[in-house]
Amino acid sequence: MTVEEYNKSVDDYSDGLYRFVLKNIKDKDKAKDIIQDTYEKLWIKVETVTYEKVKSYLFSTAYHTMIDVIRKETRITGFDEVNADKHSHLEQYSDLNEVLHEAIDKLPEVQRSVILLRDYEGYSYREISEITGLSEPQVKVYIYRGRMFLKKYIGSVETLV
């Protein structure tokens, strides 16, 4: 990869990377640090990463760096440990966006990441598998479980509107 291609990758992908990391960790400073670390790792491997593969490399590296930061701070909660009834939203409220973000925050880390990659960033199951290091069936299962949790948490759309 040339220096021009590296600079183009910063222009093309840094905003999407930042949004993805920020949605997961909710800390602007940590998100900026993770993105900076990601681009530093790319610079170190600039000779071995081709421009065609740079987007996948950046999202994979950012994802793994983010997971490392999260693991240092807290233990990842498994889906089976989440009590959906405890976190359900029953009262009527009209700001669907706020309720959705609140629900996404309650998902276990892996489910939140794959749902954000799929539904917010538009990646395919195969691309998410490459980014996260999970198998495609695992990605599909985590997305399904996450969506079921969100559906149960939010309830029917009619109660929100």
User: Crossing angle for the helix pair 54-73 and 125-132, nearest 10 degrees?
Assistant: 50
Greatest alpha-carbon pair distance for the chain in Å reads: 55
The residue from 52, 73, 94 where one domain ends is: 73
- Residue 95 lies in domain: 79-160
CATH number at residue 30: 1.10.1740
Residues 64 and 86 in one domain: no
Out of 17, 48, 73, pick the residue that ends a domain.
73
Higher per-residue confidence, 82 vs 5: 5
What is the average per-residue pLDDT within 81-86? 57
Q: How confident is the model over 77-96, as a mean pLDDT?
A: 56
Say if residue 82's pLDDT is above 70: no
112 and 156 within one domain: yes
Report pLDDT digits (tens) over 25-77: 888 999 999 999 999 999 998 888 888 888 888 988 998 988 888 888 765 45
Tell me, yes or no, whether 134 and 152 share the same domain. Answer: yes
- Domain end position, chosen among 23, 40, 73: 73
- The C-alpha atoms of residue 14 and residue 59 are separated, in whole angstroms, by 10
Asked whether the whole model's pTM tops 0.75, one would answer: no
The pLDDT, as a whole number, for residue 97 is 75
Give the number of domains in the chain.
2
